[in-house]
Amino acid sequence: LNLAGKRLVVIGGTDGLGRAIARLAASRGAKVTVVGRTFRDADTPGMDFVRADLSSMKEAARLGRELAVEGVDLVALTHGIIAAPQREATAEGIERDMAVSYLSRLAILRELAPRLREGARVFVMGFPGAGNRGDAADLNAERAYDAMAVHMNTVAGNEMLVLDAKDRYPRVGVYGLNPGLVRTNIRANLLGEGSLKHRVAEFFIGLFTPSP
């Protein structure tokens, strides 16, 4: 795969699948802009970095407005978490998984998509394509809280995001990607970073799934 001359933006490209995609693309000749909190690949040719707090809707909208995407061939929205055992809220009062894994993507895409060139592509990671249904009456998990039910709200949101985008942005191709079960750090928020439960889960997942 020769990506020489291609321009990519990987939002959430500092860890997990996003980082793997960014590094692979750069190794194949693409110029890659990575967006996230902690950049670990400053010594990798072909990559640059934009710092952003993707739990903030204000920051996400600003990023969508200001990110240089003219001439970009592909934008990958890969950032996300799994809800914690106890409800967490951002400074803006939004349940944290909903903010990071869905609403920030919506805010970014609404600002960014109209500025993409015709024929550019947007990949939305975390799209099972199974018609998942969220709880529309409690999207902010204020009435009740269950970590997996809350996370499924974000999954349903991402399915809606892709299906809506095909009509809202007809000049741009928007695709949902289902990565399946992959060994990344996305479960740390649910299981506890570095906890015994987290290490055991990663060990068994690693026996049957690839690392990015």
Q: What is the mean pLDDT of residues 163-173?
A: 94
Both tokens of 126, joined, read 């975390």
| Mean pLDDT of all residues belonging to the chain | 89
Q: What is the pLDDT of residue 153?
A: 93
First to last CA, the chain: 17
Query: Is it the case that residue 197 has pLDDT exceeding 80?
Result: no
Task: Give per-residue pLDDT as tens, 1-29.
Answer: 899 999 999 999 999 899 999 999 999 99
Both tokens of 204, joined, read 């068994």
Nearest to 6 by CA among 30, 36, 25: 30
Q: Are 48 and 94 in contact (CB under 8 A)?
A: no
How far apart, in Å, are the Cα atoms of 111 and each of 107, 108, 156? 7, 5, 21
Q: Are 159 and 127 in contact (CB under 8 A)?
A: yes
Task: Give per-residue pLDDT as tens, 62-102.
Answer: 999 999 998 999 999 999 988 888 999 999 999 999 999 99
Q: What is the pLDDT of residue 190?
A: 64
Q: What is the pLDDT of residue 29?
A: 97
Instruction: Report, in this order, helix, strand and coil percent for the chain, each rounded to 5.
Output: 40, 15, 45
Distance, CA of 195 to CA of 200 (rounded, Å): 9
